[in-house]
Amino acid sequence: MKYMKLGSKPDTFYTEQAVRSVVSDIPADLIIHVNNTKYQLHKFPLLLKCGLLQRLCSDTEADEQLPVPVALHDIPGGEEAFEICAKFCYGIAISISASNFVPAALAARFLRMTEHVAKGNLVSKLDTFFESCVLHGWRDSIAALQAAWRISGWSESRIVQPCVDSIVEKILLPPSQVCWQAAVDLRRFIWRQDLNSFFLCVQVAWSYTYTRPGYAKRPHQSVPKDWWTEDISELDIEVFRSVVSTVRATRMLPSPLIGEALHVY
């Protein structure tokens, strides 16, 4: 499993009377509505990192004595993704993996959490994690691709196409190099660190699903040529077809192996 840890403060978000708040001695001066959830938060530190909130608050004519109301009903990923971004602003510890990377990345871009707004902002950290860790993993690439496709399809080409390319590249590797390639990834990325985050990309060997009758998975057993077919069968039909068509176009795999992938799907 590959993940990135950001922030160090304990999680002080809590729910009271259907309202999400954060423990603070300072009264909330920002009310954010995300779908059916109401958040009572603070301009500082959210406005320091969110370009969209800066603009929305500056455009709002409101009594300075009252919290500024903001509606973010169309934020990608909904409440869960918004809360990841909010916790990042507060410095609260969050963990990013392939399972939540996509909604977090889309929400961060929606909120304009870019380097133009603040140095070391969330978008750049997520981009680095994506390029350095997610794309170098087998299951991680598939999980991110599936999530991005289901949220926005080909329109999210910044995530979808690199994931497709990464998956195809791994499929085309000779089976004898599958575990060797993972070991290279381990040496290359386990020490990647900056002042505010730590990237841990630990994966001794690629984990894949192979449940064919008569096959007992053992560490010393050679990797079967069709090791990749079951995992990509989890993909939606359009993206599965794109992966298989790209693999077929390279003419590097025999036709029966392509047929096996279609049979499994």
Q: Tell me whether residue 160 is in a domain.
A: no
| Whole-structure pTM value | 0.89
SS (H, E, C) 13-78: EEEECCEEEECCCCCCCEEEEECCEEEEECHHHHHHHCHHHHHHHHHCCCCCCCCEEEECCCCCCH
Identify whether residues 34 and 127 lie together within a single domain.
yes
pLDDT of the residue at 177: 81
**Total structural domains in the chain?**
2
pLDDT of the residue at 220: 59
SS3 at position 9:
strand
Q: How far apart are CA 124 and CA 105, in angstroms?
A: 9
Identify whether residues 200 and 127 lie together within a single domain.
no
Both tokens of residue 169?
Answer: 């590249």
Identify whether residues 41 and 128 lie together within a single domain.
yes
Amino acid type, 159: I
Both tokens of residue 37?
Answer: 């959830």
Per residue in 53-67, pLDDT tens? 999 998 776 667 789
Phi and psi based region of residue 134 (left: phi greater than 0; alpha: psi -120 to 50; beta: remaining): alpha
Mean pLDDT of all residues in 166-178: 91
| CB environment 207-221: b (16+ within 10 A), e (fewer) | ebeeeeeeeeeeeee
Q: Tell me whether residue 152 is in a domain.
A: no
Identify whether residues 198 and 106 lie together within a single domain.
no
**End position of a domain, from candidates 106, 133, 160:** 133
CATH code, 68? 3.30.710.10
Domain span at residue 182 reads 169-264
Q: Tell me whether residue 35 is in a domain.
A: yes
